[in-house]
Amino acid sequence: MTTTATAPTQTTHSTRRWLLPLSVILVVLFCLAPVLWQLLTSVKTNPDISAIPTVYLPREFTLDHYRELFVRRPFLNYMFNSLLVALLSTILALGLGAPAAYALARLRLQGQRIILAGILIVTLFPPILLFLGLLNVVQALNLGNNYLALILPYAAINLPLTILVMRSFFQQLPKDLEDSAKVDGYSTVGLLLHIVLPLTLPALATTGILTFISAWNEFIFALTFITEESMKTVPVAASQIGGASIFEIPYGPIAAATVVGTLPLVALVLLFQRQIIKGLTSGAVKG
């Protein structure tokens, strides 16, 4: 059923023909225009960046801003750090969140409404203020300059979303499937791993992407908890990019850092979101 090439209706035929491409173009424009602007900025010379009238296409193409990132600083190293932290916190968030979500979706816990409410409520706490309290905890546990000081909070901050999203997807699965797996002899964990999670790949990929991105880009914790040069993450490193003076905002190098810092995300998102596919459960049950 996934191959359904639906026959367009005659009346709406012509409308549909241009509507979809048009809307795709609009979406691309909306999402890409400012990013493209950053990309262009990153290869413009400084005078071009602040020229009046605005210079759109660079009059002079330069990679200086990129050189600044990699030559003056170990930007690759920062990217590795970010990757490590983001990947581990994503795994942790999914690894803890998905089972918890399943428990809340299907296992009829007592007081689950209260737990759900609690999970929801913590997300309402202004995140900017979380870190002062966390700083205490980090110091108490002597976790400063330890990746764990980032991984755990990132995972925790993304847990509520993971749990609630996964839960909503688990609830939409046909229950007969799980019953069938139980009769087959799957344990609850096996059931989760082999049957339920593969069928909720879209949700898993989605929350994975969201968690990964938020961990990759998090700034305040990364700034406060990690002071070791070799352990810094991309956003912190980007914040250290200096201009000629402390007053200057170095738009060029920042644009370059934005581009470079986002490229791995693009690759990962491409990878992850291939999993957001339609009709995963089609053909499973009747009724």
Partner 1 sequence: MTQATNTDVIVQRDRRIGWLLLLPALLLLIAVFAFPIGRAFWQSFYTQNLGTELQPQFSGLENYGRMMQDGRFWQTLGNTTVFTVVSVLLEFVLGLAIALVLNQAFRGRNIVRTIAILPWALPTALIALAWAWIFNDQYGVVNDLLRRVGLIDQGINWLGNPNLAMMAVIIADVWKTTPFISILLLAGLQSIPDDLYEAHRIDGATPWQSFQRITLPLLMPQIVIALVFRFAQSFGIFDLIAVMTGGGPGGATETVSLYIYATVMRYLDFGYGAALVVVTFLLLVLAVAIAAFFLNRSRAKTSAAP
Partner 2 sequence: LTCFLVLLPVFSQQPVEIRFLMLAPETPLFAPLIEEFERENPDIRIRMVEGPNATNLVEDLYTSALLLGSSPYDLINLDVVWTAKFAAAGWLMDLSDRATPQELAQHLETSIEAGRYQDKLYRIPWRTDAGVLFYRKDLLQEAGLQQPQTFTDLLEVSKTLQQKTGVDWGYLWQGRQYEGVAAMFVEVLSGFGGYWINPETLEVGLDQPEAINAVNFLRGTVRQGVSPGGVTTYQEEEVRRLFQSGGAAFMRNWPYAIPLLNSEESAVRNKVGIRPMLSMPGGQPGSCLGGWGWGILSSTPHPEEAWRVLQYFTSERVQRINALKGYLPSLRSLYEDPEILAEFPHYAEMAQVFEKTVLRPSIAQYAQASDILQRYLSAVFSGRMAPEDAMQTAASETRSLLGRLSSAQEARG
Partner 3 sequence: MTSIESKPTHSATATRSTLELRGLNKTFSPTVIPVKNLDLSVDRGEFLTLLGPSGCGKSTVLRMIAGLEQPTRGQVLLEGKDVTRLGPGDRNMSMVFQSYALYPHMTVAENIASGLKLRKVPRHEIEERIQEVGNFLGLQPLLNRRPSQLSGGQRQRVAVARALVRRPSVFLLDEPLSNLDALLRENVRAELKQLFEHQQAPVVYVTHDQTEAMTLSTKVAILSEGHLQQLDTPHRIYTHPANRFVAGFVGSPQMNFLMLPCEGQTAILGHSRIPLPRAVPPSTRRIVLGIRPEHVQVAQGDRATVSGEIFLVENLGMHNLVSVRVPDIEGQPTLRLLLTPDRHPTGQQLHLTFPPQDMHWFDAETGDALRD
Ligand X SMILES: Nc1ncnc2c1ncn2[C@@H]1O[C@H](COP(=O)(O)OP(=O)(O)OP(=O)(O)O)[C@@H](O)[C@H]1O
Contacts (Cβ under 8 Å, ≥6 apart) of 179 = none
Out of 50, 123, 168, 281, point to the residue binding partner 2 (CB under 8 A): 50
Beta-sheet strands, E only, within 111-208:
none
Distance of CA 254 to the CA centre of its chain: 21
Is residue 257 within 8 Å of 234, Cβ to Cβ?
Answer: yes
Q: What is the total count of residues that contact partner 1 (CB under 8 A)?
A: 108
Size of the site for partner 3 (CB under 8 A): 40
Residues 193-212 that bind partner 3 (CB under 8 A): 194-195, 198-199
19 binds partner 3 per the rule CB under 8 A:
no
Residue 53 touching partner 3 (CB under 8 A): no
CA-CA distance, 148 to 178, in Å (whole number)?
35
Question: Any contact of residue 229 with partner 2 (CB under 8 A)?
Answer: yes
The correct pick among 86, 88, 197, 206 for binding partner 1 (CB under 8 A) is 206
> Would you count residue 35 as binding partner 2 (CB under 8 A)?
no
In Å, how far from its chain's centre is CA 247?
32
Task: Please give the torsion angle defined by the CA atoms of residues 48, 50, 56 and 60, in that order, rounded to the nearest 10 degrees.
Answer: 10
**Residue 285 interacts with partner 3 (CB under 8 A)?**
yes
Partner from partner 2, partner 3, ligand X, none binding residue 50, C-beta < 5-8 Å depending on class = partner 2
Could you give the string, one character per residue 30-59, with x where binding to partner 1 holds by CB under 8 A and - elsewhere? xxx-xx-xx--x--------xxxxx-----
Q: Does 142 participate in binding partner 2 (rule CB under 8 A)?
A: yes
Q: What b/e readout covers 259-287, taking b as 16+ CB neighbours within 10 angstroms?
A: bbbbebbeebbeebeebeeeebeeeeeee
For residues 221 and 154, the answer to whether their CB atoms sit within 8 Å is yes
What residue type is assigned to position 82 of the chain? S
CA–chain centroid gap for 45, Å, is 31
> Which of partner 2, ligand X, partner 3, none has residue 57 at its interface (CB below 5 to 8 Å by kind)?
none
Asked if 246 touches partner 2 (CB under 8 A), the answer is yes
If the CB atoms of residues 105 and 161 are measured against partner 3, the closer one turns out to be 105
Q: How far is the CB of 221 from partner 2 (least distance, A)?
A: 11
For the CB of residue 177, give the shortest distance to partner 3 in the complex, in Å: 5
∠ CA 133-136-141, nearest 5°, is 130
- In angstroms, the CA 250 to CA 245 distance is 9
Q: How far is the CB of 115 from partner 3 (least distance, A)?
A: 23
Single residue of 86, 159, 195, 196 touching partner 1 by CB under 8 A: 159
Q: Which range binds partner 2 by CB under 8 A, 54-62, 164-172, 196-204, 246-254?
A: 246-254
The span from the CA of 9 to the CA of 133, in Å, is: 60
90 binds partner 1 (CB under 8 A): no
Residues that bind ligand X (CB under 6 A): 1, 3
